[in-house]
Amino acid sequence: MKTLISSDLPRIDDHFVKEDSRVEVVRGFLLMSPPAEEPHATLHLTLAYLLAAHVGPDYAGAVDMLTRTSRDSDFAPDASVYPAERDPETGGRRLEELAFEIASTQPLDSAGEKARELVRRGVRRVFCIVVRHLRVLEWSTETDGWSPLLDDSSIEDRCFVRPLPVVSLLHATATHDAVVAALDARENPALRAIEARGEARGRSAALLAVLGARGLVPSDTERQRILEAESAVLDQWIARSPFISETSELFSGG
Taking 60 as the threshold, does the pLDDT of residue 192 lie above it? yes
Mind listing the pLDDT tens digit for each residue in 46-86? 999 999 999 999 999 999 999 999 999 999 999 999 999 99
Taking 90 as the threshold, does the pLDDT of residue 90 lie above it? no
Taking 60 as the threshold, does the pLDDT of residue 246 lie above it? yes
Taking 80 as the threshold, does the pLDDT of residue 115 lie above it? yes
pTM for the complete prediction?
0.81
CATH topology of domain 6-185: tt1808, chain A (3.90.1570)
| pLDDT level of residue 133 (50, 70, 90 thresholds) | confident
* Angle at the Cα of 141 from the Cα atoms of 138 and 147, rounded to 5 degrees: 30
